[in-house]
Each structure stands twice: as structure tokens, then as C-alpha cells.
Amino acid sequence: MAAPAVLLLLIFVGVPFLASIGFSLYNLRLGDPRSPTFMGITQYTRIFTDPDVSGAFLDALLHNLIFAAVVVPVQTALALALALLVKKSLPGIGIFRSLYFLPVVFPIALVAIIWRLILARGDSGLLNSALSFFSGGSFGAQDWLGSGLTALASVIVLSIWQGCGFQMVILLAALQQVPPELYEAAELDRANGWQRFLHVTLPGIKTTIVFVALYTMILSLRVFDQIYVLAKSGGGLNEDATRTVMYEAVTAAFDENNIGRASAISVVFFVIVVILSLIQRRATREREG
């Protein structure tokens, strides 16, 4: 029964990963008529020791960690709040569930265009116009995407807005599996709403919350699409303040035509993501125990 899934994983995950390890050992460039030069682990050592390479890689890794540290708790908490909100059986609640989930199905190009209009610099930006209107003109126009202080925060807000609906659906399904009898028993014990949430709801969906947090962290660490589209679509995104590890790998592969370095970055980042995932899983398992 598991053979088809395992086969697909081997073809589309295992084989490319092994190929990346092999490519990282060579000075491989697309279109170069010369044979690839074997370099051993030189690409890996340069990532951590060569100032021209290690500086950009460590900055990108820091951006990834900041992104994940903000997105994981905020998006999980917001998704849980929305799931609790749409769990109620009210007239037209299906419309609200669809609206909250709608950003998930939007293609990333459309999401980038929407947020490029919202965060555009000057008075033409929707956010700047709204802030100027409600502040009576005292709030000056900001370059949200171009400023080094707000560029990464803007991408974080965009990502939370787009991905929150997916986590909401997963948590909503978990909430609907909590036995109603537990809430009835809590009400008989005169537990208020907050107490029912702490002692009935959270224990009932603890495993799902752990899964959502872990899944969100993995997605946060491999963030690339939003940044690439905003940077390449004329949105004025400050690339130095938002470059991630995946962005560095794609830049090395297609802008610098250095497939070996891009493969080495990908392999190193894969190991980092696995380690962080295991640490998070171990920490949440201890809390569950």
C-alpha cells in the first residue's frame, strides 16, 4: 500500500537530493564545454570560510531564522483563532470559511501583485494612503518594501496572510473531532470559556497544533517564492534585507551559473532544516509527555 508513495518520494526527493550531493563536489556550470572539475568539499568549506560566500549565506540564514521565529507562532495562533471563530454554526459561516481560505489558492504571482499595490512607496500605495487618511496627513509615506527596517516585516505579513487559511482548515478539522461531551462536562463544573479552552480544547487538538507548527516552520525556512516575485516584478523589494538561503541557492545557480555552489548550499540548508525540525519535535514531544 505504501509502495506508490515511497516510489514517488524516491524519484522526486531522494534522487534529486543525491544528485545535488554529487553536483556539490564539482565546479559545474551550465553550458560550459569544459568537463566539470572535481573540487571535493571545497564548495562546503567556502560556504563557511570564504568571506565572499559565507557572509551572504549567514545573512540569508539569519533572515530565514527571523522569518520562521515570527511566522510560526503568529500564523499558528491566528489560524487557531480563525478556526475557533468559524467553528460556530451560524448562518452564512461557510462564506467566511471560504473567504479566509481564499488567499491559499491564489497563485504567488497574484499575491505579489496585490501586496505590491498595497505596500507601494509614496502616496500611490494603498497602505500609505490609508495611514495618511486616518492620521489626517501627519503620517508620511513609507517605502515599506525598499526600507531595510520594514522589507522583511512586509514579506512576513504577506506570508501570514496567504498561508493562515490552510492552517485554519487543519485546526478546524481537529476542533470538530473534540467530543462535545467534554464541553458539557466542563460547563457542569462551571468552567468559563477561557477555562474550557485551556483544559478541553487545547488538550484535544495538541497533536494537530504540533503538526501545524512543525509544518509551518518547514515552509518558513524554505521561503523563496514571495521574495523572488517581489524582487523581480519591479516591486522595489530590498533584496539585501530579505535574501533567504533558497534565494541564495537560486541566485548562485541561475545568475552566477554556479551549479556546484548552489547544490552545496541546498545540501547544507537541508541538513539545517532537518536538525531544527528534530529539535522542535523533541521539544514538543517532551511537553506532550
The pLDDT assigned to 96 comes to: 84
What distance in Å separates the CA atoms of residue 131 and residue 127, rounded to the nearest whole number? 6
pLDDT exceeds 80 at position 289? no
Average pLDDT over residues 197-223: 89
pLDDT exceeds 90 at position 79? yes
What distance in Å separates the CA atoms of residue 262 and residue 43, rounded to the nearest whole number? 9
The pLDDT assigned to 285 comes to: 65
Q: CA distances (Å), 124 to each of 128, 145, 157, 234, 246, in order?
A: 7, 14, 20, 15, 31
pTM score: 0.86
Tell me the pLDDT tens digit for each residue of 61-73: 999 999 999 999 9
What distance in Å separates the CA atoms of residue 31 and residue 259, rounded to the nearest whole number? 11
What distance in Å separates the CA atoms of residue 244 and residue 172, rounded to the nearest whole number? 31
The torsion defined by the Cα of 115, 170, 283 and 226, in degrees rounded to 10, comes to -20
* 27 sits in which H/E element: strand 26-27
The pLDDT assigned to 91 comes to: 77
CB hemisphere CA count around 133 (13 angstroms): 8
The pLDDT assigned to 171 comes to: 94
The pLDDT assigned to 155 comes to: 92
Residue of higher predicted confidence among 253 and 34: 253
Residue of higher predicted confidence among 234 and 66: 66
pLDDT exceeds 90 at position 240? no
Residue of higher predicted confidence among 287 and 38: 38
The amino acid occupying position 264 is A
Classify 142 as helix, strand or coil: coil
Tell me the pLDDT tens digit for each residue of 241-286: 999 999 889 888 888 888 999 999 999 998 988 888 888 777 766 5
The torsion defined by the Cα of 150, 152, 153 and 156, in degrees rounded to 10, comes to 160
φ, ψ of residue 89 in degrees (nearest 5)? -90, 90
The pLDDT assigned to 66 comes to: 94
The pLDDT assigned to 228 comes to: 87
Question: Which residue, among 189, 220, 180, 179, has the nearest Cα to 64 in the 3D structure?
Answer: 220
The pLDDT assigned to 34 comes to: 73
The amino acid occupying position 125 is G
64, 241 contact by CB (below 8 A): no
What distance in Å separates the CA atoms of residue 123 and residue 143, rounded to the nearest whole number? 10
**What pLDDT band is residue 288 in, cutting at 50, 70 and 90?**
low
64, 244 contact by CB (below 8 A): yes
274, 218 contact by CB (below 8 A): no
> Does the domain formed by 58-288 have CATH 1.10.3720.10?
yes
Q: Cβ atoms within 10 A of the Cβ of 276, count?
A: 17
